[in-house]
Every structure is written in C-alpha cells, then in structure tokens.
Amino acid sequence: MQKIDLVKVDHSTKIGDVCGDINPNVTEDSIFLYEGEPIGFYLKDISKHSEKASKLAALANKELRSKSVPKSTMKRSSGFANSENEVLQYSTIIGSVPPKPHMRRPYPTISSVHNVKTAQTFIKAMLLLCRESEEIIKELTPNIFEKQKKLIEDNVPKEWRFGRLFTSSISNYNIPAPFHRDAGNIEGCVNVIIAKKNNATGGNTTVPDYNATMDSCDNSMLVYPAWRNVHGVTPIVPTSEGGYRNSLVFYPLKAFKNL
C-alpha cells in the first residue's frame, strides 16, 4: 500500500462554498501521513481486505434502497444548474442522536429507525459492517484504532456507542456536500465512509488543505478525521436511469460526554 505525505497548500476555499466537480487524484490503496504519523487511509475495494465487509455493505445498500427503511428526503442541488441532473436524494440516521434543544429535545436519544420492524435487517447489517470496518482500521492503522478506542471509552457512555469506535451512522443517497468541517465530532477520531455506486459519476471527497480528492468508486472505503479539515463532496450525476452513489458512514460525536 502506498503512503501519501499530506502537505498543506494555499487555497481560497471556505466553509459553505459549493463543491464543484473535481477529478480524484487518490485512486489506489493509500495510507495518509501527516508529519510522519498515519491519520487515515483509502481502500479502492474493501473486498480485498474483508469479503465479509463487502457483503455487508451490499446488503445494507440493498436494504436502504428498499421500502423497508425510513428515510428523510432531501432537496439539495446535485451541484448542476439544469434540472435534468437532479437526482433522488435521501438519508437515514441510526445509532445515537445528540440533544437538540432548539427542537425542544434537550436530551440524547437513539434514532427512531431502531423502532421500525422492517428496518432491522438494515440496522444489523450496518452494525456488523461497523465492526468489520473497525477490524480493518485495527489491522492497517493500529495506532488510530487504539487512540480512538480510548477516546470513545473516555468520552462516550456505553449506551451511546455504535460499535467500539463510533456513536452514530448516516447513509447518504445521492447527496453531495458543500465545503464543511465536522465540528461536532470528537477531535482525534476518524470517520468511515464506504461507497456503493452504480452508473453514476462524482461523490468524491475532496480536502483542499492537501489538494487531495479521493475516488468514491463502488466498494471503496475512506477513513479520515473529518473534524480536522474543511472538505466537500463533489456532485453526483447518474450516467443512466437509476444510477446512484450511496455512502455508508460511521462517525463519533462529542455530544454524549458527561451524560
């Protein structure tokens, strides 16, 4: 596996800027180093590292795209001006949900999706996929695994954990993202993004600080500290009817400390 030394570059990108179409320049298995220390990695095809993870991702993707799983529909632009390139967009959150005082819920809760009987196969597949992802992190970057495991143990009570390294999961179907930073995440931790993709282009995660854009190809896996840098997701455009890009994401929120 190649190693990429991340070096900061000058750029003018700001939080809230629209992420345009950017071709990936990270397309092969890579470990990301910053000042000599691994901070994440990219895998082009998770099946080469865990056949079980690959099968679980396929099952979770299938269930999400069915009527069995509740979804929040989105009306976010694909990033293109003409309506022909607009696509069906939705997301589903499982695991722990932080307090939302502005919505008159000043306490954390578990996603209501867990109460839906038809969604149980999806939830189980995602939880098992989370555990397989953790094993891949442990194998390829044991220092990241051990550091995050301790941060979770120190900051997240057991009842709010999703797997050993995370609190929550979101699945984003055909959803690009403007430039942002995951400020709600526990600093020092990583996210996992597994892509399922069929007959579509785009959906690549790009980090301007390092001029790095990771290829969101089908079955790829990105492990990256999303709290650390401004990043965006490029527009997703189907190349034929029914084309899509779905991201299966695991992340650690800091909102559950001292609960």
Question: Please, are residues 19 and 206 in contact by the beta-carbon 8 Å criterion?
Answer: yes
Q: Let me know if 94 is exposed, middle or buried by CB neighbors in 10 A (0-12, 13-18, 19+).
A: buried
Question: Please, are residues 184 and 253 in contact by the beta-carbon 8 Å criterion?
Answer: yes
Q: How far is CA 152 from the centre of its chain?
A: 18
The pLDDT of residue 241 is 87
The pLDDT of residue 21 is 95
- Collect all residues with Cβ–Cβ distance below 8 Å to 166 and sequence separation of at least 6: 95, 130, 152, 192, 250, 251, 252
Mean pLDDT, each 10-residue run in order, the chain (259 residues): 96 96 97 97 97 98 96 64 64 94 83 98 98 98 98 96 98 95 96 97 97 98 97 94 94 89
> What is the three-state SS of 52-107?
HHHHHHHHHHHHHCCCCCCCEECCCCCCCCCHHHCCCCEEEEEEEECCEHHHCECC
> What is the three-state SS of 210-244?
HCEEECCCCCCEEEECCCCCCEEECCEEECCCCCE
Question: Please, are residues 220 and 254 in contact by the beta-carbon 8 Å criterion?
Answer: no
d(CA 184, CA 202): 26
The pLDDT of residue 79 is 44
Q: How far is CA 235 from the centre of its chain?
A: 16
Q: Let me know if 192 is exposed, middle or buried by CB neighbors in 10 A (0-12, 13-18, 19+).
A: buried
The pLDDT of residue 85 is 52
d(CA 226, CA 236): 20
The pLDDT of residue 258 is 73
The pLDDT of residue 74 is 73
The number of beta carbons lying within 10 Å of the beta carbon of residue 138 is 16
The pLDDT of residue 86 is 60
d(CA 92, CA 169): 8
